[in-house]
């Protein structure tokens, strides 16, 4: 984001065509109703599953004495991870001055908001007695990384929301008068949310300053959120978790998952809303390069994380690693490493695969692998406690996720998709004013 | 469903296999009998012990809600449990097997009998046989123990006596007694079990280095370990231990302590981070208000 705005673009004819393009899909369409209906009904089934769990307790899940952190916690880590991409794209790349992130930044921010907002709910799904949630705040100890996590997830959610909302304000004002095809209440909402925006230089000045502060503040916050999430594991002595590189390992893994999610959403927006003028092949090409970069960094951390203990094979560590490399978890472990990391890296090195459709397919595989990767981080460690309970039934020792548990997990994903759909459908998904400003700049340069 | 069924089958098979291993009780122990008649008082005392020491595994008697261990702890009212003779039950509780812990040092012999008295209350058909009187003519029910601290020899002297029908108070000879020091978890056996001599006296060597509390106080218990002589026990507290001061573990600020005992550095780091971040967030919220106000300023020329 530039430090100064040349408001000439407001008088440029191009603004009209850009606004028309971007606002065309906004509003309630038949497709939207069908899609939301589908999501809503599926969600109802998942809410029923949660009702069962609420009524009976965690006994309806596969969680038992040995493995008390299962799918839910893996899902939580996945959500937090995916949401971090907001910081990577708008902040790190934006502040450095990469122009190509402009049309993508809002997409990344929507992903950040949606996943961070539901991450908290995912944690509640892991509570057998959710009505005791207030106790966390009443009796929580700030020595506990769990409290740090609660603090930092909340902060991250607020900053991400502001980073979504602030650059949206000028767009809301621009959209006024161009929204004839949308319902009245939506126009009213725009009016309120536009906070009296008149495109005055002073307003732009305040806006740019506010955005800049948030862009900087979100970097340490995002680092904190995922590092703290990794500490929930790393501060224990258990093999597989007891690692000093868990913070950066989680952080780099987060960028892989998040970049893949952005590509998937870019593809949907581009094809469904016919916005290929704004989300061009060039953008996919750049995202492909970004995905390769973050994947290589993550691969590097993976090698460290598994090779170093694998070289020493300390007794407890060896049991865990053998389980992953050649034991019960080997199939999942190698599938995730190969499909989610090694093969995407190789493919995306070639420009041929950095095209929208192939990027889309690769990103879906990467994102699914990222989910299972979290499961591999969370569950296998608990298979081998240092002090095994003796003479207990087998069902207490092995983790078998149940249907109820899976339905609740799917429900949280549906909620994320619902938030994304609503934000995408009711508000411009690509920053109109930034596109118009950029266009104006290009035009005036070519005139000179 | 199928999986559940197989797990259940597995548990059943394993328990059948294990329960096939008969718990052999030596004939001598099997024939033992309680030295006192079970009554309401003994059942009540036994119930209390049961609730604190046994319920966690065996569940509430008659409700079949024992913890599903392998092999399973039988319910107290079960046929299997009640088929034990009093002596067999006493032997099993004292010695334990596998997951069933040994209560040898944690529950005194007489208290074990009280638990058994409680367990028997869940069996209508049970008729108690009380042990015959102890030899020597002294009444076993009223043994009296006197404790003396012999400072020079560093010994504890226990003197046992009991009233007899016709000969007044008599010393109780040949009875086995044990000396314990009370610790946090259960009793610590001090010296070996001793037999009283003809004068009813037993001497225990007391170690010089046994830690006491901050004043060196040690709580001692002398108890008859041969229940044929009845239920007798004497508690006393003597300043014969090494004075030890152990600061409570939760006194200092520590990561694992309560929130009011947070380490200062953490308190500072957390507070600064939270206030810092939220300071900026609140500032930005104020900026949104600033944007709103700037939109109403008349004299600024609007760009639109």
Mean pLDDT throughout B30-44? 85
**Which of B272, B287, B293, B299 to probe by mutation at the A interface, max A CB count within 10 Å?**
B287
Please answer whether residues A427 and A90 qualify as being in contact, where contact means their C-beta atoms are separated by less than 8 angstroms.
no
CB-based contacts of B5, cutoff 8 Å, min separation 6: none
Interface of B with A in 139-168 (CB under 8 A): none
pLDDT band for position A441 (cuts 50, 70, 90):
confident
Find chain A residues with C-beta within 8 A of B266's C-beta: 142-143
* Cβ separation A391–B270 shorter than 8 A: no
pLDDT at A111: 97
Which sign does the torsion angle of CA B126, B131, B132, B133 carry?
A: negative
pLDDT category, A431, cuts 50, 70, 90? very high
Residue identified by tokens 């869940």 is B122
Minimum CA–CA partner of A156 in chain B? B277
Task: Examine the pLDDT at B156 and tell me if it is beyond 60.
Answer: yes
Reduce the DSSP state of residue B51 to 3 states and report it: helix
Q: How far is CA A112 from CA A223, A227, A369, B71, B298, in A?
A: 14, 16, 19, 52, 38
User: Residues A75, A374: contact at Cβ < 8 Å?
Assistant: yes
What band does B141 get if pLDDT is binned at 50, 70 and 90? Answer: low
Q: Which residues of B touch A148 (CB under 8 A)?
A: 270
* Share in percent of chain A as helix, strand, coil (round to 5): 75, 0, 25
Taking contacts as CB-CB distances below 8 angstroms, the residues of chain A near B3 are: 400
Closest Cβ–Cβ partner in A196, A214, A224 for B292: A196
Q: Two tokens at A410?
A: 């799917």
Nearest CA in chain B to A191: B292
Chain B residues close to A210, C-beta within 8 Å = 284, 287-288
Percent of chain A with pLDDT strictly greater than 90: 83
Q: Is B31 on the interface with A (CB under 8 A)?
A: no
Where is average pLDDT lowest: A90-94, A100-104, B172-176, B263-267? Answer: B172-176
What integer is the mean pLDDT of A256-269? 97
- For residue A397, give every residue at least 6 positions away whose Cβ sits within 8 Å of its Cβ, in sequence order, or none: A64, A65, A66, A67, A383, A389
More confident residue, A294 or B191: A294
CB < 8 Å to B301, chain A: 200
pLDDT of B261 reads 92
Chain-chain contact of A203 with B291 (C-beta, under 8 angstroms) = yes
Question: Are B57 and B73 within 8 A, CB to CB?
Answer: yes
**Of B294, B272, B270, B277, which Cα lies nearest the Cα of A214?**
B277
B284/A200 CB distance under 8 A: no
According to the per-residue pLDDT averaged within each range, which of A263-267, B2-6, B127-131, B147-151 is highest? A263-267
In order, the DSSP letters of A278-346 are TS-HHHHHHHHHHHHHHHHHHHHHHHHHHHHHHHH--HHHHHHHHHHHTSTTHHHHHHHHIIIIIHHHH
Q: Binning pLDDT at 50, 70 and 90, where does residue B17 land? A: low
Which residues, 6 or more positions from A403, have their beta carbon under 8 angstroms from its beta carbon? Answer: A49
Asked if A320 and A381 touch (Cβ cutoff 8 Å), the reply is: yes
CB-neighbour burial class of residue A393 (10 A; exposed 0-12, middle 13-18, buried 19+): middle
Instruction: Please give the CATH architecture assigned to the domain spanning B135-239.
Output: Sandwich (2.60)
Q: What is the pLDDT of residue B138?
A: 46
Query: CB of B67 within 8 Å of any CB in chain A?
Result: no
CA–CA gap between residue A210 and residue A218 (Å, rounded): 12
Q: Is the pLDDT assigned to residue A279 strictly greater than 60?
A: yes
Between the alpha carbon of residue A174 and those of residues A18, A104, A270, the distances in Å are 11, 19, 22
B214 contacts chain A (CB < 8 A): no
**pLDDT tens, residue by residue, A160-193:** 999 999 999 999 999 988 888 888 999 999 999 9
> Chain A residue closest to B5 (CA)?
A395
In the CATH scheme, what is the code of domain B23-120? 1.10.760.10
pLDDT of residue B299: 54
Taking the alpha carbons at both ends of chain B, their separation in whole angstroms is 69
Judge whether B78 and B62 are in contact, CB under 8 Å.
Answer: no
Work out the minimum CA distance from A133 to partner chain B, whole angstroms. Answer: 18
Structure tokens at B223: 């108890």
What local confidence, expressed as pLDDT, does residue B136 receive?
Answer: 45
Interval B173-187 mean pLDDT: 83
**Residue A367, pLDDT score:** 97
Question: For residue A384, what are its two tokens?
Answer: 């081998």
Contact A217 B7 (CB under 8 A): no
User: Which residue in the block uniquely carries the two structure tokens 């797990």?
Assistant: B7
Continuous H helices in B206-247:
none
Give A253 or B228, the one with higher predicted confidence.
A253
| CA pair distance B268, B73, nearest whole angstrom | 52
Tokens of B94: 């004292």
Residue A5: closest C-alpha in chain B: B303
Residue B56 at interface with chain A, using a CB cutoff of 8 Å: no
Contacts of A12 in chain B (CB under 8 A): none
Q: Under an 8 A CB cutoff, do A200 and B295 touch?
A: yes
Which residue stretches of A98-245 are H helix?
102-125, 134-139, 145-165, 168-175, 184-193, 201-234
Mean pLDDT within B80-106: 90
Q: How close B19 gets to chain A, by Cα (Å)?
A: 14
Q: What is the pLDDT of residue B229?
A: 61
Query: In whole angstroms, what is the distance from residue B80 CA to residue B73 CA?
Result: 10
Nearest CA to CA, how far is B265 from chain A (Å)?
Answer: 11
Q: State how far Cα A218 lies from the chain centre.
A: 14
Q: Where are the domains of chain B?
A: 23-120, 135-239, 253-282
pLDDT of residue B12: 59
Which residue in B98, B257, B291 has the most chain A C-beta atoms within 10 A of its own C-beta, making it the best mutation to test that interface? B291
Q: Is the peptide bond before B269 cis (omega within 30 degrees of 0)?
A: no
Give per-residue pLDDT as tens, A114-138: 999 999 999 999 999 999 999 988 8
Q: Which residue has the higher pLDDT, B13 or A52?
A: A52
Query: Which pLDDT score is estimated for B304?
Result: 43
- CATH code 3.30.30.10 for A7-447: no
pLDDT category of residue B134 using cuts at 50, 70 and 90? very low
Residues from chain B contacting residue A217 (CB–CB below 8 Å): 277, 280-281
To probe the interface with B, which of A147, A150, A210 has the most B CB atoms within 10 Å? Answer: A210
Check CB contact under 8 Å for B259 and A392.
no
Chain A hits for B288, Cβ within 8 Å: 166, 195, 210
Provide the residue ranges of all domains of chain A, joining segments of one domain with +: 7-447
Nearest-5° angle of CA B152, CA B190, CA B110?
125
- Mean pLDDT (chain B) is 84
Q: How much is the pLDDT for A398?
A: 86
């Amino acid at each position: 984001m530039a430090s100064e705005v040349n408001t000439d673009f407001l008088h440029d004819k191009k603004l009209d065509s850009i606004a028309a393009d971007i606002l065309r899909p906004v509003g309630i369409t038949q497709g939207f109703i069908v899609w939301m209906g589908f999501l809503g009904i599926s969600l109802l089934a998942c809410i029923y599953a949660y009702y069962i769990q609420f009524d009976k307790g965690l006994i309806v899940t596969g969680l038992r004495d040995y493995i008390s952190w299962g799918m839910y916690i893996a899902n939580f880590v996945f959500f937090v991870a995916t949401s971090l991409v907001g910081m990577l794209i708008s902040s790190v790349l934006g502040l450095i001055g990469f122009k190509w992130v402009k049309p993508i930044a809002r997409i990344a921010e929507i992903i950040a908001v949606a996943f961070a907002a539901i991450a908290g709910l995912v944690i509640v799904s892991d509570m057998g007695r959710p009505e005791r949630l207030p106790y966390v705040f009443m009796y929580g100890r700030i020595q506990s990384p769990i409290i740090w996590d609660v603090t930092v997830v909340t902060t991250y959610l607020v900053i991400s929301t502001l980073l979504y909302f602030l650059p949206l304000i000028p767009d809301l004002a621009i959209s006024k008068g161009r929204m004839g095809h949308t319902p009245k209440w939506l126009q009213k909402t725009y009016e309120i949310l536009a906070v009296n925006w008149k495109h005055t230089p002073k307003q732009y000045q305040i806006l740019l300053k506010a955005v800049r502060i948030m862009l900087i503040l979100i970097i340490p916050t995002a680092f904190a959120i995922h590092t703290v999430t990794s500490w929930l594991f790393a501060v224990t002595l258990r093999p597989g978790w007891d690692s000093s590189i868990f913070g950066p390992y989680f952080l780099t893994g987060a960028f892989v998952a998040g970049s893949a999610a952005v590509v998937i959403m870019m593809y949907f927006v581009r094809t469904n809303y016919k916005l290929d003028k704004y989300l061009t092949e060039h953008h996919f090409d750049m995202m492909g390069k970004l995905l390769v970069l973050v994947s290589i960094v993550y691969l590097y951390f993976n090698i460290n994380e598994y090779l170093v203990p694998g070289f020493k094979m300390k007794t407890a560590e060896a049991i865990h690693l053998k389980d992953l490399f050649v034991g019960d978890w080997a199939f999942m472990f190698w599938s995730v490493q190969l499909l989610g990391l090694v093969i995407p890296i190789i493919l995306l090195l070639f420009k041929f695969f950095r095209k929208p459709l192939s990027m889309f397919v690769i990103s879906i595989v990467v994102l699914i692998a990222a989910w299972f990767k979290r499961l591999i981080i969370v569950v296998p460690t608990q298979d081998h406690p240092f002090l095994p309970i003796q003479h207990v039934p087998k069902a207490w020792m092995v983790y078998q996720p149940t249907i109820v548990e899976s339905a609740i997990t799917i429900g949280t994903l549906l909620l994320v998709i619902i938030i994304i759909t609503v934000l995408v459908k009711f508000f411009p998904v690509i920053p109109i004013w930034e596109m118009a400003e950029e266009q104006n700049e290009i035009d005036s340069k070519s005139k000179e | 469903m199928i999986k559940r069924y197989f797990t259940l089958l597995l548990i059943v098979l394993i328990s059948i296999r294990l329960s096939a291993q008969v718990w052999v009780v030596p004939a001598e122990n099997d024939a033992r009998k309680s030295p006192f008649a079970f009554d309401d008082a003994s059942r009540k005392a036994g119930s209390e012990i049961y609730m604190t020491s046994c319920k966690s595994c065996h569940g509430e008697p008659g409700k079949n809600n024992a913890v599903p261990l392998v092999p399973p702890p039988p319910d107290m009212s079960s046929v299997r449990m009640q088929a034990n003779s009093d002596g067999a039950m006493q032997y099993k509780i004292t010695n334990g097997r596998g997951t069933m812990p040994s209560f040898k040092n944690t529950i005194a012999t007489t208290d074990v009998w009280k638990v058994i008295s409680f367990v028997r209350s869940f069996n209508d058909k049970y008729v108690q046989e009380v042990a015959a009187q102890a030899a020597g003519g002294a009444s076993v029910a009223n043994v009296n123990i006197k404790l003396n601290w012999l400072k020079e020899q560093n010994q504890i002297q226990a003197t046992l006596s009991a009233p007899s029908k016709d000969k007044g108070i008599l010393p109780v000879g040949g009875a086995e007694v044990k000396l314990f020091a009370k610790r946090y978890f259960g009793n610590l056996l001090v010296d070996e079990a001793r037999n009283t001599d003809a004068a009813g006296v037993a001497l225990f060597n007391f170690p010089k280095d046994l830690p006491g509390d901050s004043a060196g106080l040690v709580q001692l218990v002398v108890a008859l370990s041969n229940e044929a002589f009845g239920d007798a026990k004497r508690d006393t507290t003597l300043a014969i231990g090494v004075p030890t001061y152990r600061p409570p573990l939760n006194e200092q600020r520590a990561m694992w302590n309560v929130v009011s005992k947070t380490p200062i550095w953490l308190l500072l780091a957390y507070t600064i981070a939270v206030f810092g971040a939220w300071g900026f967030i609140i500032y930005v919220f104020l900026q949104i208000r600033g944007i709103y106000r700037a939109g109403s300023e008349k004299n600024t020329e609007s760009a639109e």
